Amino acid sequence: MITPWEISDIIDYKKTMENFGIKPINEIIKSIENPHHLMRRGIIFGHRDFERIVDAMKNKKKFAVVSGMMPSGRMHFGHKMIVDQLLYYQDYNAEIHIPIADLEAYSARGMDFETTKKLAVEEYITNYIALGLDPEKINVYLQSKYNKVKDLAFILSKRTNLSEMRAIYGFGGETNIGHLFAPLIQVADILHPQLEEDLKIRREIPVVVPVGIDQDPHIRLTRDIANRAKEYKFIPPSSTYHRFMTGLLGGKMSSSKPETAVFLTDDEKGVKKKIMSCKTGGRETLEEHKKLGGVPEECVVYELYAYHLIKDDKELLEIYETCKKGELTCGKCKKYCYEKIVEFLKDLHEKREVAKEIAHKIINL
Ligand code: SF4
């Protein structure tokens, strides 16, 4: 069972897609005028009803994006992937809603509200803005402070029951009621853009939720509830699914294990150390590497290029091919990688100073 609170290291994406009816993104990629590089490269690999959003983008119709966050530690490159997707939708003038899941953090992770709020503002929202999100165009809110969402969650809770919640999330008898209710808040986060503030007037606006596969239980529950709550005539939300980044040492990437991730606030020395000692697809010896070629498919450095550092497909392909042929050595390749990261982080660091002030104003710290 895949749940948002616990995810195994190894995910069989293909099997998960088959089990839960997620469609491959490559089946519709040709109909997307300007697909995101994460889509072109199969990193965003699946979707539900994304055709609706493609149509909105193509015909300049309104659509909304909802991307919740539950702050847990420092923000790293794995988290950045979601901001890259929001920036893509921002270019299409999408409405962007960013709920801070403080109610869920409280009930599921035992985090107090003040800690969650501070972390969300100073680490996440600050970086979101520094990365390019327009603070004037985003709706960032704390779940605990947004009555529209809380009221909608309560109303929609009537459309599910304990058996369904158990079947989707695997809740047991020991689960606290707050945790049990938290997914309903997420359902309301996702559906609220389709209603005006009074929850009475309907807005004709499709919504897309870009997520990792661990969040699919929320999407399934939301779509089911949207269909059941006939009085609202909700459009079931669309979703896209991206792969998780591999940790620098080969396992899971985690905020609580600094050696597994490059953080957006790492300094030059730290980045160099992490990249120079990360897992690559290089061979045991230089001689072997030159003879047999590397394995970029199993290389964390290559993943960093593909996900974040190289937007030009031709340049990425050249790295792939020269690695495969053994012409590109890991030493040279890692050096190029950390130089690119350092350059990127230096620029981000400068932008973060201004962004932090704005983030504080948005949430009123
Ligand atoms: Fe990875 Fe680069 Fe080494 Fe190839 S050459 S295995 S892409 S570090």
Nearest CA to ligand 1 atom 4: 323
> Rounded to two decimals, what is the model's pTM?
0.94
**CATH homologous superfamily of domain 268-351?**
Tyrosyl-Transfer RNA Synthetase (1.10.240.10)
User: How remote is the CA of residue 298 from the centroid of ligand 1, in Å?
Assistant: 9
> Which residue lies with its CA nearest to atom 3 of ligand 1?
330
Give me the pLDDT at residue 361, please.
92
Q: Mean pLDDT throughout 330-344?
A: 97
Q: What is the pLDDT of residue 4?
A: 57
Nearest alpha carbon, ligand 1 atom 8: 330
Ligand 1 site-directed mutation target among 300, 328, 340, most atoms within 8 Å of CB: 328
Backbone φ/ψ region at 98: left (φ over 0), alpha (ψ -120 to 50), beta:
beta
* Run of H or E residues at 95: strand 95-100
Ligand 1 atom closest to residue 300's alpha carbon, by position in its atom list: 1
Confidence of residue 364 (pLDDT cuts 50, 70, 90): confident
SS3 316: helix
First-to-last C-alpha distance (Å) of the chain: 38
- Angle (CA) 62-63-67 rounded to 5° is 150
Atom 5 (ligand 1): residue with closest C-alpha? 330
Domain range 8-244, its CATH number among 3.30.1330.60, 3.40.50.620, 3.40.50.300, 3.30.300.210: 3.40.50.620
- pLDDT at res. 12: 79
Pocket of ligand 1 (CB under 6 A): 280-282, 294, 296, 299, 301-302, 323, 328, 330, 333-334
Distance CA 159, CA 90 (A): 33
Q: What is the sign, positive or negative, of the torsion defined by CA atoms of 34, 35, 38, 42?
A: negative
Residue 73: its pLDDT value, please? Answer: 86
Q: How far is the CA of 338 from the centre of ligand 1 (A)?
A: 13
pLDDT, tens digit, 9 for 90 and up, residues 208-260: 999 998 899 999 999 999 999 999 999 999 999 999 999 999 988 888 899 99
**CA 277 to ligand 1 center in whole angstroms:** 13
Structure confidence at residue 243 (pLDDT): 92
Number of neighbours of residue 238 by Cβ within 10 angstroms: 23
Q: Are 169 and 3 in contact (CB under 8 A)?
A: yes
User: What per-residue confidence (pLDDT) applies to 20?
Assistant: 86
Separation of 325 CA from ligand 1 center, angstroms?
11
Which segments of the chain belong to CATH 3.40.50.620? 8-244
**What's the average model confidence in pLDDT over 22-32?**
95
The string of pLDDT tens digits covering residues 262-303 is: 999 999 999 999 999 999 999 999 999 999 999 999 999 999
**Ligand 1 midpoint to CA 240 (Å):** 29
> What is the pLDDT at residue 286?
94
In this predicted structure, what is the pLDDT of residue 31? 96
CA angle 38, 43, 47 (to 5 degrees): 90
Q: In the prediction, which pLDDT does 351 show?
A: 96
Å from CA of 308 to ligand 1 middle: 16
Give the model's pLDDT for residue 345. Answer: 97
**Which of the four pLDDT bands, split at 50, 70 and 90, describes residue 5?**
low
pLDDT in tens, 146-189: 999 999 999 999 999 999 999 999 998 899 999 999 999 999 99
Pocket test for ligand 1, best of 295, 299, 340 (most atoms within 8 A of CB): 299
Q: Does residue 11 surpass a pLDDT of 90?
A: no
Which atom, in ligand 1's list, is nearest to the CA of 334? 8
Which residues of the chain are in CATH 1.10.240.10 domains? 268-351
Share of the chain above pLDDT 70, in %: 97
How many C-alpha atoms does 51 have within 13 Å on its Cβ side? 6
Q: Which ligand 1 atom is the nearest neighbour of the CA of 328?
A: 5
> CA distances (Å), 157 to each of 147, 185, 193, 198, in order?
15, 9, 18, 18
Residue 19's pLDDT is 87
Predicted local distance difference test score (pLDDT) of residue 6: 58
Question: Maximum Cα–Cα distance for the chain, whole Å?
Answer: 70
ipTM over 0.90: yes
pLDDT of 8 over the 80 cut = no
pLDDT band at 14 (very low <50, low <70, confident <90, very high): confident
Distance of CA 28 to the CA centre of its chain: 21
CA of 263 from ligand 1 middle (Å) equals: 21
Written as one string, the DSSP assignment of 32-59 is: -SS--HHHHTTSEEEEESTHHHHHHHHT
